[in-house]
Amino acid sequence: MNDWGAPLIAAALFAFLQPGLLLQIPGKHHPIDFMNMKTSAAAIFVHAILFALFMILFLVVLHIFC
C-alpha cells in the first residue's frame, strides 16, 4: 500500500476539493456555498491553495504512506 498511498490521497483530495462539488470558497453570494456546481477564478485559486496545504499536511508533516 505504500506505493499507492500518496497517489490515492492526491486523487481523493483532488476529487473532493473541486470548486462547487461539495463546497465553494468563496461563494458567489455567501462566504461558503454548498453544492452549487458553479465556480469562479477566486474559488479555483482558494481550492488550489487548500489542495496544496492538505497534500503538505498528509504527505510531509504527518508522513502518511511515506
pLDDT value at position 1? 52
Q: For residue 33, is it within any domain?
A: yes
Please answer whether residues 24 and 43 qualify as being in contact, where contact means their C-beta atoms are separated by less than 8 angstroms: yes
pLDDT value at position 41? 87
Joined together, the cell numbers standing for residue 62 give: 504527518
Say yes or no to pLDDT of 49 above 90: yes
Instruction: Give the Cα separation of 23 and 32 in Å (integer).
Output: 7
Say yes or no to pLDDT of 43 above 70: yes
Instruction: Give the Cα separation of 14 and 9 in Å (integer).
Output: 8
pLDDT tens column, 11-33: 988 888 888 888 888 877 778 87
Q: For residue 66, is it within any domain?
A: no
Nearby residues of 14 by Cβ (< 8 Å), 6 or more positions away:
51
pLDDT tens column, 51-60: 999 888 888 8
Among candidates 11, 9, 3, 43, which has minimal Cα distance to 27? 43
What residue numbers bound the domain in which 24 lies?
Answer: 2-61
**Domain count along the chain:** 1
